[in-house]
Amino acid sequence: SGSTGLPKGVMVEHRGLCNYLSWASAAYAPVKSAIVSSSFSVDATVTSLYTPLLNGGVVHLLPEREGVDGLNRRLSSPECSMVKITPTHMGALAQNIIPGGLRSSLDLFVIGGEMLSPSTVRQWRQARPHLRMVNEYGPTETVVGCMMYSVDEEFNLTQTVPIGRPIWNTQIYLLDRYGQP
């Protein structure tokens, strides 16, 4: 668990998974191909594994042992249109890829798992001004993501990157530390 650091079991209902994948297929279309760079046990893998397949696309599995360097090599080839990634990995990739230029068909970063900083957005905007970046937020209990914010090209790079609005068929309740609205 990211919040406690202790392992926890989470029951995720199929209807939540179906809702998320239906939404992601429409929101991220057309996804021609994606790289799966995370373990199958991580909920974020759902996006990069199933979204392309539901759209008739291709999935490229990156062995875990290849890490950021392997992802760097894959992104430098013309075979990937979407990557689901954490802001930390985006920063590491920026240091490795951006200086040499990114020769790729990459259209979309779906970003989640941590807070997205304006400096990371700035790095990628300078290198790839038209790259679509979507900040997706959601704890494991919501399947993968329950809120999203599309970081547009005119995003003010000094402000905090929002977590966005709820996806289809969801409601978000903001509670204080006492569990009150």
Question: Which strands, in side-by-side order, build the sheet including 147-151?
Answer: 58-61, 33-36, 82-85, 108-111, 132-137, 147-151, 165-166
Write down the pLDDT at residue 2: 55
* pLDDT per position as a tens digit, 23-58: 999 999 888 889 898 888 788 889 999 999 999 999
Which pTM does this prediction carry? 0.86
* pLDDT per position as a tens digit, 52-101: 999 999 999 988 788 777 887 787 766 788 999 999 988 888 877 666 66
Residue 109, domain member (yes or no): yes
Tally the domains of the chain: 1
Write down the pLDDT at residue 48: 92
Residue 104, domain member (yes or no): yes
Question: Per-residue confidence at 20, pLDDT binned at 50, 70, 90?
Answer: very high
Residue 7, domain member (yes or no): no
* pLDDT per position as a tens digit, 126-159: 888 888 999 999 877 788 889 999 998 777 777 7
Rounded to whole angstroms, how far apart are CA atoms 178 and 164? 23
Q: Taking residues 160-176, what's their average pLDDT? A: 91
Q: Residue 89 has which token pair?
A: 């990995």
Residue 21, domain member (yes or no): yes
CB 116 within 8 A of CB 162: no
Residue 1, domain member (yes or no): no
Domain containing residue 84: CATH number: 3.40.50.980
How many Cβ atoms from other residues are within 10 Å of residue 18's Cβ? 12
Q: Taking residues 152-178, what's their average pLDDT? A: 86
- Please enumerate in sequence order all residues whose Cβ is within 8 A of that of 61, keeping only pairs 6 or more positions apart, or say none: 36
Residue 136, domain member (yes or no): yes
Residue 178, domain member (yes or no): no
Residue 180, domain member (yes or no): no
Domain that holds residue 41: 14-153+160-166
